[in-house]
């Protein structure tokens, strides 16, 4: 008796649950769309930043490689002007130094 008073008959209860479920589903879909749009922006921005950083590192590496061709020993380039090579990442610097 309490169930029927509180929720009505089974058809009404099922209909109310379906409406709640539909609202929840719509809300979840909206959140998913929003999340996809915003995370794809973040990922593309991060990707572009890393790609630009990688490209600039490659360009710098090419420039430094051309300069290193003038030295018989790359370590000599480091000893002559260590400040020139400070911006390189450790892998590149270690190749030059040793």
Q: Model pTM greater than 0.85?
A: no
Instruction: Considering only the C-alpha atoms of the chain, give the largest distance between any 2 of them, rounded to a whole number of Å.
Output: 97
Say which residues have a Cβ less than 8 Å from residue 71's Cβ, sequence separation at least 6. 77
What's the Cα-to-Cα distance from 22 to each of 10, 17, 18, rounded to whole Å?
Answer: 18, 8, 6
Closest CA to 64 of 93, 41, 35: 93
pLDDT digits (tens, 9 = 90+) for 34-78: 887 777 766 677 777 777 777 777 676 666 666 767 777 767 777
Q: Reply yes or no on whether the pLDDT at 1 is more than 50.
A: no
d(CA 79, CA 98): 11
């Amino acid at each position: 008796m309490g169930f029927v008073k509180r929720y009505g008959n089974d058809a009404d209860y099922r209909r109310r649950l379906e409406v709640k479920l539909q609202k929840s589903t719509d809300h979840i879909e909206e959140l998913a769309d929003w999340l996809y749009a915003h995370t794809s922006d973040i990922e593309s921005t991060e990707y572009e930043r890393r790609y630009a950083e990688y490209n600039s590192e490659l360009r710098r590496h090419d420039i430094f490689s051309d300069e290193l061709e003038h030295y018989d020993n790359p370590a000599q380039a480091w000893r002559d002007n260590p400040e020139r090579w400070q911006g390189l990442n450790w892998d590149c610097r270690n190749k030059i130094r040793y």
